[in-house]
Every structure is written in C-alpha cells, then in structure tokens.
C-alpha cells in the first residue's frame, strides 16, 4: 500500500487553528480590543455591521507598530508579549500566544493600518497592510494618526461550514455588545465607543474619580444603582471590588454576572457559587444574582492558559479564593450595610407600576397568613360556575377553592365524579397565564398603563429585547425603545399582572427562547417556564369571588393543568374512601397519625 499520511499545507493548518481562537464574530472583536488595550490605548472605537459578518473595525490610539512589526504581527506564534514560558507567570498583557491576528487574517479580508507616535505630529508615517485569506496582497507606506486600526470584512468567507453555523446577526450583535461591555468593565480607565450598524450603542468616557464604580453605573443601569451593594475587600494579596445587585434582580441564568480577574473577562463557576452562597437564603434556589466584580490576585496563583479564548482560568488554590469571595460578598451584603429584606421590596416597588398593593406593605410577605381574615365565599358561587365542563365551586378559603369535578365528566379531567378537590387558585391562575403565553389561543387584550414601566438594561440585553419587540407585541405586551439602554412597557394584558414584567422580558430574551427558531418546543417551554417563575411576584391580595370563578372557567378552558409553571401541584384530590380514612386518622392529612394503626 502506498503512502497515505501527508502533512497539511500551511493555509489549511492556519484555517483549522483559526477555528480555535476565532469561532464567532464576537471573539474577533475580543481579540482586537485586547490588542488595543495591550498597546496602551486610552481610546478605543469598535464599529460592526451585520453582526460582524460584513464589518468589524477596531481603532485605537495605542503605541502603534513600525513597518516590520506590522508584517510580523500576522504570523502565527509571533508576539511582542512573551519570550519564554516563565514569562507567563508574570504576565500582565491580555494576549501572549501570538495567534489572534494570524487566525483573523486566515479567515477574512483584513486591512491593518498602524503608525507609531512621532512627537506631537497629528499624522505620522504609517504602514497599511492588506491580507486576504492569509495571503498578503499589499503593503503600503502612508500617513495616519498614531495608533492602529484593524478592519475585518467578509469574516469566514473561506470557511463555509463556519458561516453556516453562525447565529442570527442580532444574536451576534448582542454577543459583540456583551464582549465590549465586558472589556469596558475590565478597563475603566479607557474610553470605549461601540457603533452597531452606524448607531452608537456604547459610549463611555474615562472617569477621573472612582473609575470602576462610575463605569459599572454607566454600563449597567437600574439593578446596579441605588439598592446595589458595593464590594471593597482586600486581604493577603486578594483584592475584590465592584458591585452586587440586590437579590430581587436575580436572573434565571448567569448572563448578568461579569467577572474580571487580573484584567481578564472570565467565567468562573466556583466564584459564581461563592457569591450565591454569600446570599444565603436571601437568593432563591435556581436564581443567579447579578454582579460586576474585579478580582486581583498574584498572577502566579492563576493559570490563564487553560481555554483557547482564555475565557476560563484556574486558581492554584481554588478553595482559598472561593472562601475569600464568599467572605467579602457576605461582608458587603450583611456587614457594613446591614442587609434587610426591605431593600428588596423597595426596589421592586420602584421598578414596577403594576399592582399598586406591592408597595403598600413591604413586610406583609414576611408575616404568616392570618387564616381568620381570609374570606369564606358563599356557596352561591357554585351557581355562577356550574356551566357544563366547569368544576363546581363549593367554597373558597384564602386562595384555596373546594371544588367538585365537572359533570358530565370532562375527558380532559378524568377524576371520579364523587371526589372533592382542593385547588390553589393563585397557582392555577399562574398556570393558565403561562399556558396562554406559551401558545396563545386567542390574542390577549392589552391594557395600556397610566404610568409605563421603564426597563433599564445593559446594551447586549437591549439588542436582544429590540429584536424581540414584535414577539411580545403578539402576546399583547407593548414595548417601545426609549434609548440605547432603556425601554418603555406601555401596556400588557392583565393576565400578566403578577409578573415583574421588566425582569421577565429581560430574562426571556437572555434565554434565547424566542430568537432560536429550531429550538424544540418542549425545551422552549421549559426555558419560558424558568423565566416565568423567576419573575413571578407574590400575589398578596386575597382572591375575590369574581376572580375565583373566572379562574375556574379559564382552568377548565385550558384543560385543567395539574402543575404550576414552577412544577408544584395545583390541586389535591379526595375520594370518599380517602376522606373517610383521613377522618379516621384524626383529620391530619400531612402529619401521620402517631396513635398507631
């Protein structure tokens, strides 16, 4: 048999290697901006068009490069930042592998113009380099302002497989905004501007005082303002600073968690858990608090070389770091400020104009229910809901209705006709509203608000919300764009009354529930449910008779769902024999009888 194994040609090797570093448009933006930061820039301009497919241009006022360096910069494993492996331990630059430019030029058309500063001259001698799919097509001497501009067009033009798997331009735009947001958070002393399809999306200036806090407030709106907690903690070579949002803003995903370790934007599950642990019971299961934190450690105690795009890091003593983080967050929440649940409710009340009763008694949530005060509805209610197919209501205590199954028996609800059911009306209302939201049978009636609800969010979130406005409109939720980082909810169906709408909208958009067309229906519903449950407000007012009967009618119309969106049971069922047994055992259905069998 002849020879079958041959070395790949260098262009193919470069294209394969490029996939590791530049997999999506946002990773190209990240690499270019990191280069600008490494070059000491104090101003960085990022321009993108069509989610980065058509254009990505990053311009900086950094140190620039001379002609020889411009040509060398696009070679694989060519870097000015690392000479030998030991340098990694003391590294302060973001880049070090010398792979980014080589990867970018391998899969796109690039024009790179760079000029080194020349005294106070506004225009300096510059080099312009043109590269197509890894091949240099032109090198010119020209004049330019000091700094570097890298323009990337036709990204992935020669990698059809990658083009095919790109997300939608709006999703890529959101990812790019998130990337720039993260980098702007990492470098609060640098001015950043992001233009998306010609429109300014981010414009943050250099702040002379408290740069980090000012930057956080400029980038992230409402959750990081008044009710948020500042973190300042320094001990034994460990420095943690930043802001943690009140737990009532917690999300169903970790998308609102920004962590910068030694100037690098990274994800770290151990730190995410440590922050969550610090909240104790004040942040619910399944929710993730929002934070924007800078962690600074001895570079020798972290390994930044564990992820192709350096998005993850490893700590040499993870447990120690985890404990310090938990301690510092805990101090910020409970220590100096004295965290009290009121802060949560006051901020809910200030961010919503729904259901005025939420702001009236911020403590009522923490008090046990007073059963005596719960209204017991007259039996006559049963008449109003005794239409065929609708269960008969025998009475309501608090939020619970005692009902008889519909007669004749509804095939959608096969329970024995002589049984009795206890139905949680509030949970039933949620289940019905949620079903309606997942697959609207008939359009819901929009009620315009007297005072619109303001949604403030980060730029990446704004990009996702904008692209989903038509979807929400179909659900009867009217959203209008107000500025690059804020929206107005002008109306919504009254069925959404028990939702923190602004939170729900941000959460649903984060989850890509709507924008991912090929998402399987059950997965889509599962994610919608998570967002829905995370945004449910507690309904405090007791259910009145009119609401009870309309909930029963709707419950029947939606084929008697058995579970609430959070998976809890809506009703329990008693047959005559189970009731007799219950009575015989002393009438305590939850605690088992201790008097023996």
Residues making up the chain, counted from first to last: 597
Residue 573 touches which of Mg ion, ligand ADP, none (Cβ within 5-8 Å per kind): none
Q: Crossing angle, helix 501-510 and helix 459-474, to 10 degrees?
A: 100
User: Would you count residue 95 as binding Mg ion (CB under 5 A)?
Assistant: yes
Q: How far is the CB of 99 from Mg ion (least distance, A)?
A: 8
Instruction: Measure CA 590 to chain center.
Output: 39
User: Would you count residue 460 as binding ligand ADP (CB under 6 A)?
Assistant: no
- The sign of the CA dihedral 125, 130, 136, 138 is negative
User: Would you count residue 33 as binding ligand ADP (CB under 6 A)?
Assistant: no
Distances (CA, A) of 156 to 136, 165, 195, 324: 17, 11, 21, 43
Conformation bin of residue 482: beta by default, left when phi > 0, alpha when psi is -120 to 50: alpha
**Nearer CB in complex with ligand ADP: 79/433:** 79
The enclosing H or E element of 290 equals: none
- List, in sequence order, every beta strand (DSSP E) within 248-345: 257-261, 264-266, 291-296, 302-303, 314-315
Stretch that binds ligand ADP, among 29-37, 363-371, 509-517, 557-565 (CB under 6 A): 29-37
User: Would you count residue 14 as binding ligand ADP (CB under 6 A)?
Assistant: no
- The pair of structure tokens assigned to 202 is 């981010």
Stretch that binds Mg ion, among 99-107, 221-229, 282-290, 389-397 (CB under 5 A): 99-107
Name the phi and psi angles at 500, rounded to 5: -80, 90
Q: What is the separation, in whole angstroms, between the first and last Cα of the chain?
A: 82
In sequence order, which residues have a C-beta less than 8 Å from that of residue 262 and are 6 or more positions away?
92, 295, 296, 297, 299, 302, 304
Q: Residues 116-155 vs Mg ion: string with x where CB under 5 A?
A: ----------------------------------------
Residue 98 touches which of ligand ADP, Mg ion, none (Cβ within 5-8 Å per kind): ligand ADP
Q: How far is the CB of 86 from ligand ADP (least distance, A)?
A: 17
DSSP state string for 449-494:
EEEEEEEE--HHHHHHHHHHHHHHHHTT-EEEEEETTEEEEEEEEG
User: Would you count residue 21 as binding ligand ADP (CB under 6 A)?
Assistant: no
**Nearer CB in complex with ligand ADP: 116/512:** 116
Residue 509 touches which of Mg ion, ligand ADP, none (Cβ within 5-8 Å per kind): none
Stretch that binds ligand ADP, among 63-71, 191-199, 445-453, 532-540 (CB under 6 A): 63-71
Q: What are 42's strand-pairing partners?
A: none
Q: How far is the CB of 95 from Mg ion (least distance, A)?
A: 3
Site residues for ligand ADP, window 429-458 (CB under 6 A)? Answer: none
Query: Is the CB of residue 176 less than 8 Å from the CB of residue 166?
Result: no
Residue 242 touches which of ligand ADP, Mg ion, none (Cβ within 5-8 Å per kind): none
Q: Residues 20-49 vs Mg ion: string with x where CB under 5 A?
A: ---------------x--------------
User: Would you count residue 35 as binding ligand ADP (CB under 6 A)?
Assistant: yes
Site residues for ligand ADP, window 72-101 (CB under 6 A)? Answer: 73, 78-81, 95-101
Site residues for ligand ADP, window 248-307 (CB under 6 A)? Answer: none
Query: Is the CB of residue 518 less than 8 Å from the CB of residue 347?
Result: no
Residue 62 touches which of Mg ion, ligand ADP, none (Cβ within 5-8 Å per kind): ligand ADP
d(CA 82, CA 102): 16
Which position has the token pair 């592998």? 97
User: Would you count residue 344 as binding Mg ion (CB under 5 A)?
Assistant: no
Q: How far is the CB of 35 from Mg ion (least distance, A)?
A: 4
Residue 446's Cβ-count burial label (10 Å; 0-12, 13-18, 19+) is: middle
**Nearer CB in complex with ligand ADP: 64/493:** 64
Q: Other CB atoms closer than 10 Å to residue 457's CB: what's the count?
A: 23
Residue 246 touches which of ligand ADP, Mg ion, none (Cβ within 5-8 Å per kind): none
User: Would you count residue 39 as binding ligand ADP (CB under 6 A)?
Assistant: yes
In sequence order, which residues have a C-beta less than 8 Å from that of residue 553 and are 6 or more positions away?
385, 387, 390
User: Would you count residue 100 as binding Mg ion (CB under 5 A)?
Assistant: yes
Site residues for ligand ADP, window 135-164 (CB under 6 A)? Answer: 148
Instruction: Measure CA 84 to chain center.
Output: 39
Site residues for ligand ADP per CB under 6 A: 31, 35-36, 38-39, 60, 62-65, 73, 78-81, 95-102, 148
Site residues for Mg ion per CB under 5 A: 35, 95, 100
């Amino acid at each position: 048999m002849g020879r079958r194994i041959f070395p790949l040609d260098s262009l193919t090797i470069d294209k394969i290697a490029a996939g590791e570093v530049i997999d999506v448009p946002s990773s190209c933006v990240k690499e270019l901006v990191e280069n600008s930061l490494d070059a000491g820039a104090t101003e960085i301009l990022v321009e993108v068009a069509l989610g980065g497919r058509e254009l990505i241009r990053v311009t900086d006022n950094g140190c620039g490069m001379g002609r020889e360096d411009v040509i060398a910069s696009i070679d694989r494993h060519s870097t000015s930042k690392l000479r030998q492996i030991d340098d990694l331990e003391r590294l302060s630059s973001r880049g070090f592998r010398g792979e980014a430019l080589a990867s970018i030029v391998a899969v796109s058309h690039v024009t790179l113009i760079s000029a080194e500063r020349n005294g106070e001259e506004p225009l300096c001698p510059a080099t312009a380099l043109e590269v197509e799919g890894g091949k240099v097509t032109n090198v010119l001497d020209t004049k330019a302002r000091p700094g570097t501009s890298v323009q990337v067009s036709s990204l992935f033009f020669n990698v059809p497989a990658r083009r095919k798997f790109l997300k939608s331009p709006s999703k890529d735009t959101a990812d790019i905004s998130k990337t720039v947001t993260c980098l702007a958070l990492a470098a609060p002393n640098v001015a950043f501007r992001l233009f998306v399809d010609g429109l300014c999306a981010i414009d943050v200036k250099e702040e002379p005082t408290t740069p980090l806090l000012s930057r956080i407030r400029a980038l992230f709106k409402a959750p990081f303002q008044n009710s948020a907690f500042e973190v300042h903690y320094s001990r034994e070579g460990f420095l943690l600073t930043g802001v943690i949002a009140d737990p009532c803003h917690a999300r169903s995903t970790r998308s609102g968690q920004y962590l910068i370790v030694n100037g690098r934007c990274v994800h770290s599950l151990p730190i995410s858990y440590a922050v969550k642990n610090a909240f104790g019971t004040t942040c619910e299961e399944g929710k993730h608090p929002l934070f924007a934190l800078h962690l600074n450690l001895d570079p020798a105690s972290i390994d930044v070389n564990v992820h192709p795009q350096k998005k993850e890091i490893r700590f040499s003593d993870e447990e120690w770091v985890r404990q310090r983080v938990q301690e510092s967050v805990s101090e910020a929440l409970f220590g100096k400020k004295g965290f009290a649940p009121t802060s949560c409710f006051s901020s809910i009340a200030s961010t919503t104009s729904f259901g005025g009763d939420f702001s009236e008694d911020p403590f009522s949530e923490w008090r046990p229910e007073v059963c005596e005060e719960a209204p017991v509805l007259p039996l006559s209610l049963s008449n109003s809901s005794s239409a065929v197919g609708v269960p008969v209501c025998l009475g309501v205590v608090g939020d619970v209705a005692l009902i008889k199954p519909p007669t004749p028996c509804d095939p959608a609800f096969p329970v024995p006709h002589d049984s009795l059911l206890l139905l949680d009306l509030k949970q039933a209302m949620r289940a019905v509203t949620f079903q309606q939201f997942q697959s609207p049978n008939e359009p819901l009636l929009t009620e315009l608000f007297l005072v619109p609800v303001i949604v403030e969010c980060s730029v990446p979130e704004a990009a996702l919300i904008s692209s989903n406005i038509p979807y929400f409109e179909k659900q009867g939720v009217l959203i209008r764009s107000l500025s690059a980082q804020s929206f107005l909810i002008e109306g919504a169906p009254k069925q959404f009354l028990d939702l923190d709408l602004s939170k729900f909208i941000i959460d649903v958009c984060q989850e890509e529930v709507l924008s991912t067309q090929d998402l399987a229906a059950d997965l889509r519903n599962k994610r919608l449910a998570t967002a829905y449950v995370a945004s449910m407000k507690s309904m405090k007012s007791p259910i009145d008779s009119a609401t009870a009967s309309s909930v029963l009618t709707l419950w029947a119309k939606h084929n008697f769902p058995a579970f609430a969106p959070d998976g809890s049971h809506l009703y329990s069922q008693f047959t005559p024999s189970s009731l007799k047994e219950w009575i015989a055992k002393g009438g305590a259905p939850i605690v088992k009888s201790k008097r023996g069998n």
